[in-house]
Amino acid sequence: MDMNITIDFFQNRFIQAIGAGIYEISVCHNNQSKVLYIGESVFVMVRCASHLYELKKDPAYLGLTEKSLADSGVKLIFTLLEEESNVVVRKQKEKEYINKLEPLSQSGVSDRQKSVEDRIAALTEFLESSS
């Protein structure tokens, strides 16, 4: 499987992403972007590296397909939204971000993901609309 997408991994907040916080994974295509996933972790960078590992094993994990992975115009952007060491506050803020930003891959019920089929459909629709 060809993987031609670009990955921007915490470009401006690399050091801060080593710690605890809330993060987002966005997808950008033809200068349009949409939030794909919101998460929280005590070690943001490690958790996001895990997302990349899962993506490599199974692109559908984030709603990607072989076709979208081969598209060099697709960019995944990992961003630290805010640093937060308190786990209770972090989980609450994660839910607030999910409700506010409506990530493509998440159901809106707490931090749960949509079904694989719905993740693929949502991302494919976004990519096609931004072509």
Where are the chain's structural domains? Answer: 6-126
Of the given ranges (13-17, 40-44, 91-95, 124-128), which has the lowest mean pLDDT? 13-17
Per-residue burial over 75-105, b if 16 or more Cβ lie within 10 Å, else e, is ebbbbbbeebeeeeebeebbbebbeebebbb
More confident residue, 111 or 81: 81
Note the pLDDT of residue 60. 93
pLDDT above 80 (res 1):
no
Write out the two tokens for 14: 């690399």
Give the largest Cα separation in the chain, rounded. Answer: 41
pLDDT classification of 112: cutoffs 50, 70, 90: confident
- Mean predicted confidence (pLDDT) in 73-92: 97
